[in-house]
Amino acid sequence: MKENDFDMTQTDADFDARCHALLAEKEVAAPPPGDGLFAQPFPAWKRWGMAGGAALLLATGAALMRNSGEEAASAYDGLDASETMELREVLEVSDAAPSNLPVTENEVTLEEAAMPTPEIVEAPEVATSEAAPNVVREAPVAATASEEPALTQGRPNIEAVAVEEVQIGQPSPTSDAASTSTEPPAVTDPVVVPAASGAQPGAEKAEEEAVPADPKPRLTLPLTLPSGGGQH
């Protein structure tokens, strides 16, 4: 009976075990390692370059920070205490109520509606950054704006004076009419003029028309000047 070649006998198993024991742990003198086999250490010049670059970046950042701080400090140093207070008030108003700039925000949101969140985030930054340089320029405007009630209160007087001047300077047909006719002087009545609150543009127009016609306009100048504009 022929033995199957594939069947492993005990003799074969012993032979395999012996071969394994002899060769599994056998070592042979290996050739030296090839070039580039091991991880290349970081070159010293690259290390120094990286360190120098990092130091340069840090120094630049520190200088920028210092310059921005000095600019901010100098902007405050050039102002008086009252201006500083006004400036702070304006800054607080502009910071606290960015909705006071509806046009800017609406433009941004309408034109750049499809833009992602970062654009929307930038909108207050734009408003504040625009507000910051305008603060110095707008400070007097704010001051005049704060004195608008006083102006509006004073305007009826001015207009009254102007009307009176017109009445005085003009040939005054009404005076003639008053002298000739018996109709009440409704046109020249100063009561009509106090439209300063509601019909102010009309009154100013009348004033502007009245001033060139006035032979002595110097009387109106001191009164139209804002009282708080020159307080420094």
13 vs 64, beta carbon nearer other proteins? 13
**Minimum distance between the CB of residue 28 and other proteins, rounded to whole angstroms?**
4
Helix axis angle for 117-146 and 81-96, nearest 10°, is 140
Residue nearer to other proteins on the CB measure, 33 or 149: 33
CB 4 → other proteins: shortest distance, Å?
9
Longest alpha-carbon distance in the chain: 163
User: Is residue 58 packed enough to be buried (19+ CB in 10 Å), middle (13-18) or exposed (0-12)?
Assistant: exposed
Min CB(96)–other proteins separation in Å: 54
Provide the CB-side half-sphere exposure for 229 (13 A, CA). Answer: 11
Instruction: Name the burial class of residue 210, with classes exposed (0-12), middle (13-18) and buried (19+) by CB atoms within 10 angstroms of its CB.
Output: buried
Q: Which CB sits closer to other proteins, 24 or 81?
A: 24
What is the nearest approach in angstroms of other proteins to the Cβ of residue 50? 18
Query: What span, in angstroms and rounded, lies between the C-alpha atoms of 75 and 192?
Result: 49
- Our CB check for other proteins shows the closer of 23 and 103 to be 23
Give me the least distance between CB of 21 and other proteins, in Å please.
9
Helix axes of 117-146 and 102-111: crossing angle, nearest 10 degrees:
160
Q: Which is nearer to other proteins, 32 or 171 (CB)?
A: 32
Query: Which value, to the nearest 10 degrees, does the dihedral of the CA atoms of residues 154, 159, 161, 167 take?
Result: -170
CB closer to other proteins out of 31 and 215:
31
> Measured from the CB of residue 53, what is the shortest distance to other proteins in angstroms?
23
Q: Report in angstroms how near the CB of residue 38 gets to other proteins at its nearest.
A: 4
Q: 28 or 221, CB closer to other proteins?
A: 28
Residue ranges binding other proteins (CB under 8 A) = 5-6, 8, 11-12, 14-16, 19-20, 22-31, 33-34, 37-41
Residue 45, CA atoms < 13 Å, CB-side half-sphere: 0
Nearest Cα to 101, choosing from 134, 144, 143, 75?
A: 134
